[in-house]
Amino acid sequence: TQLLEQSPQFLSIQEGENLTVYCNSSSVFSSLQWYRQEPGEGPVLLVTVVTGGEVKKLKRLTFQFGDARKDSSLHITAAQPGDTGLYLCAGEETSGSRLTFGEGTQLTVNP
């Protein structure tokens, strides 16, 4: 089983600040997905990155896949209270379809 370390685990910031969440592994993933989860609900897919070095933007969110496909980052610009939630990275193992999840980052954006 491939491991995926996500940091920070908790992040509390003020509205308007920027933040970055990291996911790192010593293993190569065929793809990496970012999800956001609200309490009592299932994760919602934000983006999938596949190619090493790939950068994808979703409004104020920027996702990057490392050149070696072992790490990824999520950067949020000018965070808003509506961004509050649990952010999860998940890597798809090269041996199959299984997703390995990071520990999650609980983001709180204070107004």
Partner 1 sequence: GAVVSQHPSRVICKSGTSVKIECRSLDFQATTMFWYRQFPKQSLMLMATSNEGSKATYEQGVEKDKFLINHASLTLSTLTVTSAHPEDSSFYICSAKDGRWAYEQYFGPGTRLTVT
Residues at the contact surface with partner 1, assessed by CB under 8 A = 6, 30-31, 33, 35, 40-45, 48, 50, 88, 90, 92, 96-99, 101-104, 106
Question: Please, what is the minimum distance in Å from the beta carbon of residue 3 to partner 1?
Answer: 12
The string of DSSP letters for 84-97 reads -EEEEEEEEETTSS
C-beta of 82: minimal distance to partner 1 in Å?
20
CB of 37 to partner 1, least distance (A): 8
CA 77 vs CA 26, 30, 74: distances in Å:
28, 27, 10
Instruction: Specify the residue, 82 or 96, whose C-beta has the smaller distance to partner 1.
Output: 96
**Based on CB atoms, which residue is closest to partner 1, 99 or 107?**
99
DSSP state of 98: P
